[in-house]
Amino acid sequence: MKEKLVEQAYAIARERYAGQGIDTDRAMESLQAISLSLHCWQTDDVTGFEKLSGALSGGIQATGNYPGKARNIDEVRMDILKAMSLIPGRHRLSLHEIYGDFGGEAVDRDQVEPRHFQSWIDWGRWHGVMLDFNSTSFSHPKSGNLTLSNPDDGIRNFWIEHTKRCRAVADAIGKAQGDPCIMNIWIHDGSKDITVNRMKYRRILKESLDDIFSTEYADMKDCLESKVFGIGLESYTVGSNDFYIAYATRNNKIVTLDTGHFHPTESTADKVSSLLLFSPELMLHVSRPVRWDSDHVVTMNDETLDLCKEIVRCDAIGRVHVGLDFFDASINRIGAYVTGARATQKCLLQALLEPLGILRKYESEDKGFERLALLEESKSMPWNAVWDMFCLRNGVPAGDGFIPEVEKYEREVLLKRQ
């Protein structure tokens, strides 16, 4: 898009927002300060670099066979940097344990050490990318249906050891980057059919977590992610929403809300204020469920908009870690990152441009029609002109200008990977 056009449109938008008491430059500054935590696993359909890596398990699925999937650590890094070059702002990268730099060695999950992430730490420092972390309980011969909640001592202890080591890795990362590494724990544990032992597995999970968290770390933060069900584990999930909310509030841990992990008409946005009243921080996995937790690329839909608006309305930008979590193997994977990340940022920007002062005044005066009407009018305010200006100021393509860039990368890099 022509710079001149962006500037002209922005000048008009700034004036219109000023009429509602909104400073567009300040909104852009706030957006600039929000780092998304980009998930590394869209590059290669959640495969990772383990020597003996098996099929994706744990009730999650990446469907599609689009060419160009990253095959090794260098390709993942290259692809992430390409995606980041088309997303305005500075962003973090969230690694799963299976993306360690194992140098061709077979390093089992209970053997992982900070040194396996040294090259990531160096890479992050070199490129100015902060890292976050995830333990990996799926896609392993010992994954089965139960990991941390497994009554079998051998299997459970294996996963306890894995998760403990992951926390040590996260702490080492956090220390090295001088900023806490946010570590997420999601386990798939559950049951395909009716269980008569709901309490038993949850009690074991509680005890495993108590053991895992018995070490205090200064440079990492723990997050716990629930979900409703996984494929092949439809009847029961040990780590349910209730379980983790109770556990996290009692133990000062952070809850991760994945937007694909609730019943289809349940609002993730509505959960933000409740959690923030009892916990200082919150972690998000922004995703797009289509009929199930399908992990489609995030779009600027009502759910994502509502969620972002809620963060701003709660005045909680600094308390919420915004991670992305989608993996679509049926389209260009770099394009998937750029589209999903930009959609999330567009939602955040619209939230920051909301005329909250006026809306709240209407509400306090019981002016329901006026509140509704202004909310409706806000939808067609020229936020897109502010977005284009934000891109311009960040030196990334405005509008759809990133599409040819992704296509060029596909031609020159991705298609040569066959």
| Residue 293 interacting partner from ligand RNT, Zn ion, none (CB closer than 5 to 8 Å by kind) | ligand RNT
Task: State the Cα torsion 133-139-141-146 to the nearest 10°.
Answer: 80
Find the farthest-apart pair of alpha carbons in the chain and give their distance in angstroms, rounded: 67
Question: Which of 79, 101, 325, 410 is the catalytic position?
Answer: 325
Q: What tokens appear for 273 in the block?
A: 């204020």
**Interaction residues for Zn ion, span 374-413 (CB under 5 A):** none
**CA-wise closest residue to 179 among 226, 213, 233, 218:** 218
Residue 47 or 345: the one with the smaller Cβ distance to ligand RNT is: 47
- Determine the interface stretch with Zn ion among 87-95, 169-177, 194-202, 254-262 (rule: CB under 5 A): 254-262
State the minimum distance, in angstroms, from the CB of residue 287 to ligand RNT: 7
Known catalytic membership, residue 227: yes
Task: Please give the Cα distance from 147 to 190 (Å, whole number).
Answer: 9
Q: What tokens appear for 53 in the block?
A: 């890596």
Question: Which of 120, 123, 159, 186 is the catalytic position?
Answer: 186
Q: Is residue 109 a contact point for Zn ion (CB under 5 A)?
A: no
Known catalytic membership, residue 44: no
State the minimum distance, in angstroms, from the CB of residue 291 to Zn ion: 17
Angle at the Cα of 314 from the Cα atoms of 312 and 316, rounded to 5 degrees: 70
State the minimum distance, in angstroms, from the CB of residue 214 to Zn ion: 25
User: CA dist 224 to 123, 197, 250, Å?
Assistant: 27, 22, 13
Q: Is residue 132 a contact point for Zn ion (CB under 5 A)?
A: no
Task: Please give the Cα distance from 134 to 85 (Å, whole number).
Answer: 24
Task: Please give the Cα distance from 42 to 62 (Å, whole number).
Answer: 9
State the minimum distance, in angstroms, from the CB of residue 285 to ligand RNT: 5
**CA-wise closest residue to 272 among 303, 294, 243:** 303
State the minimum distance, in angstroms, from the CB of residue 374 to Zn ion: 34
Residue 44 or 101: the one with the smaller Cβ distance to Zn ion is: 44
Angle at the Cα of 231 from the Cα atoms of 228 and 233, rounded to 5 degrees: 65
- Determine the interface stretch with Zn ion among 200-208, 250-258, 361-369, 399-407 (rule: CB under 5 A): 250-258
Residue 138 or 383: the one with the smaller Cβ distance to Zn ion is: 138
Residues that bind ligand RNT (CB under 6 A): 41, 46, 60, 134, 186, 225, 227, 258, 285, 293, 325
Contact 114, 168 (CB under 8 A): yes
Known catalytic membership, residue 179: no
| Residue 41 interacting partner from ligand RNT, Zn ion, none (CB closer than 5 to 8 Å by kind) | ligand RNT
Question: Which of 79, 132, 293, 310 is the catalytic position?
Answer: 293
Q: What tokens appear for 8 in the block?
A: 């002209």
Question: For ligand RNT, which residue has the nearest CB?
Answer: 186
Residue 222 or 354: the one with the smaller Cβ distance to Zn ion is: 222
Question: Which of 44, 45, 132, 225 is the catalytic position?
Answer: 225
Among 82, 285, 296, 346, binds Zn ion (CB under 5 A): 285
Known catalytic membership, residue 295: yes
User: CA dist 173 to 84, 150, 275, 311, Å?
Assistant: 20, 29, 27, 27
Note the Cα 222 to chain centre separation in Å.
14
Contact 328, 46 (CB under 8 A): no
Among 44, 171, 325, 328, binds Zn ion (CB under 5 A): 325
For 197, the 3-state DSSP assignment is coil
Known catalytic membership, residue 258: yes
Residue 225 or 388: the one with the smaller Cβ distance to ligand RNT is: 225
State the minimum distance, in angstroms, from the CB of residue 134 to ligand RNT: 5
Q: Tell me the site size for Zn ion, rule CB under 5 A.
A: 3
State the minimum distance, in angstroms, from the CB of residue 248 to ligand RNT: 16
Question: At 79, phi and psi to the nearest 5?
Answer: -65, -40
Task: Please give the Cα distance from 82 to 396 (Å, whole number).
Answer: 11
Q: Is residue 171 a contact point for Zn ion (CB under 5 A)?
A: no
How many other C-beta atoms lie within 10 A of the C-beta of residue 418? Answer: 6
State the minimum distance, in angstroms, from the CB of residue 156 to ligand RNT: 20
For 357, the 3-state DSSP assignment is helix
Question: Which of 82, 162, 221, 261 is the catalytic position?
Answer: 261
Q: Is residue 258 a contact point for Zn ion (CB under 5 A)?
A: yes
Residue 295 or 410: the one with the smaller Cβ distance to Zn ion is: 295
For residues 208-246, b (16+ Cβ closer than 10 Å) or e, as one string? bbebbbeeebebbbbbbbbbbbbeebeebbbbbbebbbe
Contact 254, 283 (CB under 8 A): yes
Catalytic residues: 186, 225, 227, 258, 261, 285, 293, 295, 325
Residues that bind Zn ion (CB under 5 A): 258, 285, 325
